[in-house]
């Protein structure tokens, strides 16, 4: 884990039951040299704590991971203009419920949505955003791409 006073990515999940998906994100962020903070805060059960966390965070990108009626990424997007990437978790209905909850945001409040349980893609996309201003992360992304050829 890359320790930093102000982590570049905030990885937020709705429940500890999402932990396996969270770990896919953090493993990839580690691989790409992006610092992050992980918090489990439910948009439904603890909305005030979620808003407080977002207001106090200096993260440049948010990853919101949630299943079922997955409002977490959308609520994060409602509280910040920084980019938000949503990861639907396959809890019921093959994750279609959370996929649609995350992808079908109203105009003006976008959440970049990856596939069901695909937290690795969320981490890569977050790193791509950071790489716009961070050459070290850009170089790690290039190395990762080259390793697939
Ligand atoms: C969502 O509901 C969470 O993100 C999780 O995927 C799902 C179930 O949560 P728990 O009831 O296990 O806390 O809010």
* Mean pLDDT, each 10-residue run in order, the chain (149 residues): 82 98 98 98 98 98 98 98 98 98 98 98 98 98 95
* Ligand 1 centroid distance, CA of 69 (Å): 9
What pLDDT is attached to residue 96? 98
**Ligand 1 pocket by Cβ (under 6 Å):** 14-15, 17-18, 42, 66-68, 89, 91
- 44 closest CA partner among 5, 6, 73: 73
Q: What is the Cα–Cα distance from 43 to 84, expressed in whole angstroms?
A: 14
Q: What are phi and psi of 133, to 5 degrees?
A: -125, 5
What number does the ligand 1 atom closest to the CA of 14 have?
Answer: 4
- 119 closest CA partner among 61, 66, 78: 66
What number does the ligand 1 atom closest to the CA of 13 have?
Answer: 4
Instruction: Show the tokens assigned to 63.
Output: 């990853």
- What predicted TM-score, i.e. pTM, was given to this entire model? 0.96
Q: Nearest residue CA, atom 11 of ligand 1?
A: 15
* Ligand 1 centroid distance, CA of 127 (Å): 26
Q: What is the Cα–Cα distance from 97 to 51, expressed in whole angstroms?
A: 24
Q: Nearest residue CA, atom 13 of ligand 1?
A: 15
Query: DSSP 3-state assignment of 38?
Result: strand
Report how far Cα 16 is from the mean position of its chain's Cα atoms. Answer: 15
Q: Nearest residue CA, atom 5 of ligand 1?
A: 67
- 116 closest CA partner among 84, 86, 89, 91: 89
Helix (H) or strand (E) holding 7: none
Q: Nearest residue CA, atom 12 of ligand 1?
A: 17
* Ligand 1 centroid distance, CA of 17 (Å): 6
């Amino acid at each position: 884990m890359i320790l930093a006073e102000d982590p570049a990515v905030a990885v937020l999940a709705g429940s500890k039951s999402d932990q396996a998906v969270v770990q896919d994100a953090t493993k990839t962020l580690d691989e790409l040299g992006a610092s992050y903070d992980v918090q489990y805060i439910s948009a439904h059960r603890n909305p005030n704590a979620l808003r407080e966390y977002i207001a106090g965070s200096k993260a440049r990108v948010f990853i919101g991971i949630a299943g079922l009626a997955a409002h977490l990424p959308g609520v994060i997007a409602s509280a910040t203009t920084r980019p938000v990437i949503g990861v639907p978790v396959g809890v019921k209905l093959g994750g279609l419920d959370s996929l649609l909850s995350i992808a079908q945001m109203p105009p003006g409040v976008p959440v970049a949505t990856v596939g069901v349980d695909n937290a690795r893609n969320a981490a890569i996309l977050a790193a791509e955003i950071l790489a716009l201003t961070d050459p070290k992360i850009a170089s790690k992304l290039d190395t990762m791409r080259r390793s697939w050829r």
